[in-house]
Chains A and B, each alone.
Chain A
Amino acid sequence: MNIEEIITGMNEVFKDVLEIDDLSINADTTANDVEDWDSINHIIIVVGIEKRFNVKFNSDEIHAFKNVGEMADTIKLKMTA
């Protein structure tokens, strides 16, 4: 799975958690760009991503992601590990 495909999959999780049907994230998207992507929903989003991609993040990783691209890179690494 390439990064674009991962981000497409992540977008589905974001849309479901945040209930924003027309949401379209990209590698540069940060929490500041998305309504309701706050600390509360961040955990829900991350856990949703864990389930979708069958990966696990530790708490340092969960709090360190600066944007969608960093999350996607980490997902790709974990999927190929």
Chain B
Amino acid sequence: MKNYTEILLNKIDEKNPGHAKKLRDNTADLDADYAITGNLFFEKYENYLLSESLTLDFGIDCYLKMLEDMQELRIKFIQSGSYINTSFEEVEKSVYANPEVMTYHMHGLVLAQFLWFDQYERIKFFRENLIRHFNHGRNYLEIGGGHGLYINEAMKLLPAQTQFDLVDISESSLLLAKGIINTANINYYLKNIFDFTNEDQYDFVTIGEVLEHIENPLALLKKISNHLTEDGVCYITTPVNAPMIDHIYLFNNEEEIRALFREAGFDIVEEKVVISEKITDAKARKAKVPVMYAAFIKKVK
């Protein structure tokens, strides 16, 4: 297998050597699984790109464009203390209804999943604890699957007879996930989760990086609760202080996320907090550096 991570870092190095060095430094001490898991996923990604007559260079250009956006947005975030968009209507206009922006942003995020050490730490947390929390369940639902990474990992780990469903409100997101994962064993739904009926009950729900994209995350959490079986577990991720072009709901710290879970009637079973830079917690809080949060949560009985 090709060493995709190295190939991608070399390509980034040609265009942005400072950033490539930072990525290398940050991933230098990750475990052996990092390279294996990353390369397997990037191989799927390259196969998808080739099927679309594209190459990894396309992905790299998208990633670097996304990085430019993030640097501009961080400046605005530090200046104002808030995300530039706070309504779905605003991001619908500037992002979701703009195919060029959607394309580079989505492809940029695909590469970020393994080029950014904080993203890998969350994937690792998911992989290491999924089987225990799935606990002989029958079915798995992923809400807002994005690039399909989590459901891809779940399919490797969970029993073959598990029912895998993926729902996304975005057709382009769904197509990207479908294209990368490339399996017939997932039921894809182009749908709003709020249109699911109460009969749709799941033993496990994954919802990665969705809360920060909506105006009312509490309502979404309560809806998820309706679709979890009594002992069902939800794996959920969302970031703190992470300005992106389509982030509208700002969590200022992890305590706000935990409070929202409690308000929605969830207990946190296990959580993982990863600062996106190799700095102390105190510095991250003072400089409002993005922090990645992940948790397995269950309904309070």
A residues apposed to B, CB below 8 Å: 40-41, 43-44, 46-47, 50, 59, 62-63
Which of B71-79, B110-118, B155-163 lies at the interface?
A: B71-79
Q: Quick check: B279 and A43 within 8 Å, CB to CB?
A: no
Partner pick for A43 among B75, B277, B283, CB 8 A cutoff: B75
Contacting residues, chain A, for B75 (C-beta < 8 A): 43, 46-47, 59, 62
Q: Looking at chain A's contact residues, is the secondary structure mostly helix, strand, loop, or mixed?
A: helix
Contacting residues, chain B, for A44 (C-beta < 8 A): 78, 286-287
Give B57-77 interface residues, CB cut-off 8 Å to A.
Answer: 71-72, 74-75
Task: Say yes or no for B289: interface residue by CB 8 A criterion.
Answer: yes
CA distance A45 to B79 in the complex (A): 11
Q: Quick check: B79 and A41 within 8 Å, CB to CB?
A: no
Q: Quick check: B78 and A40 within 8 Å, CB to CB?
A: no
Partner pick for A47 among B79, B277, B289, CB 8 A cutoff: B79
Q: Quick check: B283 and A40 within 8 Å, CB to CB?
A: yes
Given A40-B279, A59-B71, A50:B79 Cβ within 8 A: yes
Contacting residues, chain A, for B279 (C-beta < 8 A): 40
Q: How far is the CB of A53 from chain B (nearest CB, A)?
A: 14
Given A47-B78, A47-B79, A50-B79, A41:B72 Cβ within 8 A: no
Q: How far is the CB of B300 from chain A (nearest CB, A)?
A: 38
Can you report 12 A-B residue pairs in the complex whose CB atoms are below 8 A from each other? A41-B287, A43-B75, A43-B287, A44-B286, A44-B287, A46-B75, A47-B78, A47-B79, A50-B79, A59-B71, A59-B75, A62-B75
Q: How far is the CB of B287 from chain A (nearest CB, A)?
A: 5
Contacting residues, chain A, for B286 (C-beta < 8 A): 44
